[in-house]
Structure 1
Amino acid sequence: MKSNRIFNALLMLLVFSQAGMVKAQSMNRLPIKTVQDLHAFFSWTGKKAPIISGHRGGMVKGFPENSIATFENTLKHTPAFFEIDPRLTKDSVIVLLHDATLDRTTTGRGKLSDYTWEEIKKLRLKDADGNVTEHRIPTLAEAIDWARGKTVLNLDRKDVPFAMTTAILRKHKADAFMMLTVHTPEQARYYYDDNKNRMFSVFIKNKQELDAYEKAGIPAANMIAYIGPTVKPENQELYRLLNAKGIMCMISAASSYDKLSSPEERAAAYRAIIKDGASILESDRPIDVAEAINDLLPGQSVLSGSPK
């Protein structure tokens, strides 16, 4: 009888331990399944909690930029979408790598374009401090397959031809959870003509640039607007113009406030960005951003995502 009680106690301990592990490993997911969901999620209403974008996924010790492991780690702490960097290997495989060279973020040397995918996948990624990790460079196809049902990927403009980008999105039926960074209305128009459901991140710093996208026929519902890296008086006019059309405004702290020396300074800067009027905050430190801004809207989570 005593041995049965001990066995049952051990069994219950194992069950609770496993439940705790599952909970610890759960990830937040964005509530996006269709292109209609995608457009609605990124439309400005004035009533939504701010959205976090993980620049290159985020940068935490042990978790390298542009890696699936880093995306997963960020989602364990906060809902977010991710800006990522697609580039081509020598044999035209699209992989995720910010730099044209391998040295800073991998155990390799030289230009990515000098290596085949078979050679590249033997390398290991480094974290932001230069520590070698167990993680390797992912292909864009792998990232797309992973992201489905979890988040949105924003493809920055690097060296991948437009036709290759549209082809991989069609092949993977991925337009419901993909966004494309474009630098000109002409680039947006190319992708829009291929599929009118495409979502774009566009750089708009004045009314003339907004007018150019409208003249090119890109609907406001298909855009978010990156307006720069800092809080400044000129932002107020952009918020007024863009929000009136339902367009969310994004400020990226990656090149500015993320580099402040203390956590307190960075947290204050993140809060100031949201209080200034930005509805999307992009950062190398998305987990820190979530902690800093989560109390700005009482009763709401940072995003309308949910842990699964």
Structure 2
Amino acid sequence: MRPTFIVTSLALLLSSLTSLAQEASVSPLHRIVPRTAKDLQTVLRFSQAPLPFVSAHRGGPGKGFPENCIATFESTLLHTFALLEIDPRRTKDGGIVVHHDATLERTTTGSGKVADLTLAELKQLRLKDTEGRITPFHMPTLDEAIEWARGRTVLVLDQKDVTPVERAGIVTRHKAEAFVMLIVSSFKDAAAVHRLNPDIMMEVMIPTLAKAQEFDQLGVPWGNVVAFVGHVPAEDPALYEFVHRKGASCMIGTSRNLDRQIIEGKVSDMRQLESGYRAFLGRGADIIETDIPVLLGPLLYRDVSPPEAKKPFLEVR
């Protein structure tokens, strides 16, 4: 390894650590703090007033802060209230880490498949940020992420190679129903999770009115659900109206559309896109899942007061 590379890498590591320490010393965290499963249902229930938070895709990575990294989660909450969507994956020896890709090259100093390395081997790797630069941070286990989130925010566990029932068992073991929810891609999985633990909240894929009507016959209470209506947001107003009548909120994703214009440098000022994001909210979306929560959260919600029923669970401290 060349000396200049080592010096550059060390400088970046020091810069990342210093930046986070400086921010943390002057800024409180935007905390979402439901204390029971019923509290979490209250936080996520549909209301006529806006829900003043976003869902941070992969935790909200950026320069100096890798995806699926606890330091990144902390950085996101310094700027905005946010659910944190993360990605559990299984290790060779049966552990579960938080990592998006099946392979390691893009976001770590390792190579090969996550599933081919032991937990101890994965813990030796360092994470790369969104620009491919090596940071001082290491891959967290799912257990570590859950315990970090307690009293700070709500985690949303995507599926990857850990089944819904397995993830539900982990939430149950941690007694984390108040602040950890699951993404499930099928109604069959939603029903299985609900049978195992009826207190667990789920983000369920419901992209059409017909699917919403089908879900309504499933027997899973709408109070346990946030309806994810698409990365290409549904245009049918009847879908949003149906879900809202049931008391559930709708989530849309902008990581594959509006966010890309900022990330790829096509637009330099978030204010140029504000009308686009607000159009999604106006269409009926209640929560936006985004790759850029640090920019989007303050843009949309800096001056928004939480609905009265939700105020006890949103703290800045």
TM-score per shorter chain, which class? 0.7 to 0.9
The structure 2 residue matched to 1:141, chosen from 143, 154, 157, is: 143
How far apart, in 1, do the equivalents of 2:62 and 2:293 lie? 10
Residues 1-308 of structure 1: pairs in structure 2 closer than 5 A: 24-231=26-233, 233-234=235-236, 236-260=237-261, 261-262=266-267, 263-264=269-270, 265-294=272-301, 300=305, 304=311, 305-308=314-317
**Deviation per residue, 1:224-252 (Å, 9 max, x gap):** 01111245532x22111111111101111
> 1:211, CA displacement in angstroms?
2.4
Specify every segment of 5 or more residues in structure 1 that has no aligned partner in the other structure, as ranges: 1-19
Identify if the C-alpha distance between structure 1 residues 24 and 158 changes in structure 2 by more than 3 Å, giving closer, same or farther: same
From the CA coordinates, give the structure whose radius of gyration is larger: 1
Q: Larger deviation: 84-93 or 283-292?
A: 283-292
Is the 2:40–2:179 contact (alpha carbons within 8 Å) kept by the matching residues of 1? yes
Percent sequence identity is 40
Report SS of the residue matched to 1:176.
coil
Report SS of the residue matched to 2:74.
helix
Aligned-residue Cα RMSD (Å) equals 1.9
**Deviation per residue, 1:70-107 (Å, 9 max, x gap):** 11001001111111100001011110111100011111
Paired residues, what number?
286
How far apart, in 1, do the equivalents of 2:23 and 2:189 lie? 45
Report SS of the residue matched to 2:178.
helix
Is the 2:165–2:192 contact (alpha carbons within 8 Å) kept by the matching residues of 1? no
Specify every segment of 5 or more residues in structure 2 that has no aligned partner in the other structure, as ranges: 1-21
Is the 2:56–2:292 contact (alpha carbons within 8 Å) kept by the matching residues of 1? yes
Q: Larger deviation: 92-101 or 26-35?
A: 26-35
How far apart, in 1, do the equivalents of 2:169 and 2:184 lie? 17
Identify if the C-alpha distance between structure 1 residues 286 and 299 changes in structure 2 by more than 3 Å, giving closer, same or farther: closer
Report SS of the residue matched to 1:44.
coil
Q: TM-score, normalised by structure 1?
A: 0.87
Is the 2:164–2:184 contact (alpha carbons within 8 Å) kept by the matching residues of 1? no
**Deviation per residue, 1:245-268 (Å, 9 max, x gap):** 111011111111110121344433
Report runs of 4+ in structure 1 exceeding 6 Å deviation: none
How far apart, in 2, do the equivalents of 1:275 and 1:162 lie? 32
